[in-house]
Amino acid sequence: MSRNQKQAVLFVALLCLDLRTHVGSAPICPHGHTGCHILSLADLFDRVIQHSARLHGLSSDLHSEFEHFFLPSKNHIGRVYRKCHTSSILTPNGKENAQKLAREELTEVILKLLTAWRDPLSQLHQSMAHQQDFNSFSSNKALELSDMVHELRKGVEKVTEKMQLLGMISNSVNGLSSSEALLPASESGEAMSDYELVYCFRRDSDKVQNYLKILKCRIVPEHGC
């Protein structure tokens, strides 16, 4: 649990920060420690975005493996797919819509998405591991996906806290806990198949990455935007 400890220390350090310091430029270590290294918000954003990019790449790989294995026909004629379980989450589907959203809402959306996928991915991994159709490589990817989603969510939470600390967003972000109960049940009550899960997750990971980029360029625009 060193990670939690680290986060706790970071949180305490952030709390101890002088709130009047301006955003993102010269981080100061609390208690005068010279060895500690507090990340700026821009660095945090960069890390999170890289993480989400990696997540998306992994999910794309898994999806293409599924397609080659299961469904050779490219256009999926006759394929009936259900809605993704995250379709209830309102997500902006265009640039304007995304830019119209407030920072807090955008952050909330991100967090909701990430939260909604933690359990389904672990289910996916388990079901893939049991089936013999997949090689171990694919099932390992599924396992990795669930871990990464979990870590990404933690990272985004950290960023959110930092932003709230820095006063960039209000404290009204409440996506942290309320979306835990979202279950990946489709409307028909059946559980989604593995393929559908992978398909939906690929899309959602791209959404997350995009939203994070928008958020970053809106909050810390001077760094590579």
Partner 1 sequence: MMWIDSGTMPLLTLSVFFLLLSPATSTSAPGRPRVTSCRSPEKETFTCWWEPGDDGGLPTTYALYYCLEGSETVYECPDYKTAGKNSCFFSKNDTSLWINYNISVVATNAEGKSVSEPVEVDVVYIVQPKTPESVMVSVLEDDHGPYLRVSWDKPRSADTRSGWITLVYQLRVKQVKEENWEEYDAGMQKYYNVFSLHSGKEYMVQVRCKPDHGFWSEWTTPAYIQMPDFIPRERSMWIMVAVFSAFILLIFAWTMNVKRSSVKHYLLPPIPGPKIRGFDQQLLKSGKSEEVFNALVIQGFPPTTNYEDLLVEYLEVYDDVKQELVLNGKNLPEGLLKSKTMSSDNDSGRGSCDSRTLLMEKCAEGVEESGMEQELSQFGESSWASSDSGEDRENPASPRQEDRKVQTWPPVFSSPQPHHFQQQQPGGTRASYHSVPEISCRSPPGHSSGGQQNRFSKPGFYQYTQMHSMDSIEHKHVAQVPQSQSAEYVEVQTVDPENILLLRPLANAEGHDPELSDFAGEDYSKVRDVTSDNILLLQRDLSGPQYVRDYCQDQSGQVDPCFMQLQQVEQTCKPTNVHLHLPSLMLQDGMRLAGNGYVDSTIMMS
* Window 93-112: contact mask with partner 1 (x via CB under 8 A): xxxx-xx-------------
The verdict on 75 binding partner 1 (CB under 8 A) reads yes
Binding segment toward partner 1, per CB under 8 A, in 91-99, 101-109, 112-120, 146-154 = 91-99
Please report how close the Cβ of residue 40 comes to partner 1 at its closest, in angstroms.
18
- For residues 180 and 178, give the distance between their C-alpha atoms in angstroms, rounded to a whole number: 6
- For residues 116 and 139, give the distance between their C-alpha atoms in angstroms, rounded to a whole number: 20
The verdict on 60 binding partner 1 (CB under 8 A) reads yes
- For residues 57 and 104, give the distance between their C-alpha atoms in angstroms, rounded to a whole number: 26
Q: How many CB atoms are closer than 10 A to CB 210?
A: 18
HEC readout, 180-225: HHCCCECCCCCECCHHHHHHHHHHHHHHHHHHHHHHHHHHCCCCCC
At 50, give phi and psi (nearest 5°): -60, -40
Kindly state the number of chain residues that form the binding site for partner 1, as judged by CB under 8 A.
28
Nearer to partner 1, 14 or 212 (CB): 212
Interior angle at CA 136, CA 56 and CA 201, nearest 5: 25
* Window 191-210: contact mask with partner 1 (x via CB under 8 A): ------------x--xx--x
The verdict on 1 binding partner 1 (CB under 8 A) reads no
Q: Of 6, 83, 137, 171, which one interacts with partner 1 (CB under 8 A)?
A: 83
Please report how close the Cβ of residue 132 comes to partner 1 at its closest, in angstroms.
30
Nearer to partner 1, 28 or 70 (CB): 70
The verdict on 72 binding partner 1 (CB under 8 A) reads no
At 185, give phi and psi (nearest 5°): -105, 135
Binding segment toward partner 1, per CB under 8 A, in 10-18, 104-112, 170-178, 217-225 = 217-225
The verdict on 56 binding partner 1 (CB under 8 A) reads yes
Q: Of 14, 55, 91, 153, which one interacts with partner 1 (CB under 8 A)?
A: 91
Angle in degrees, 0-180, between the axes of helices 118-130 and 103-116, rounded to the nearest 10: 20
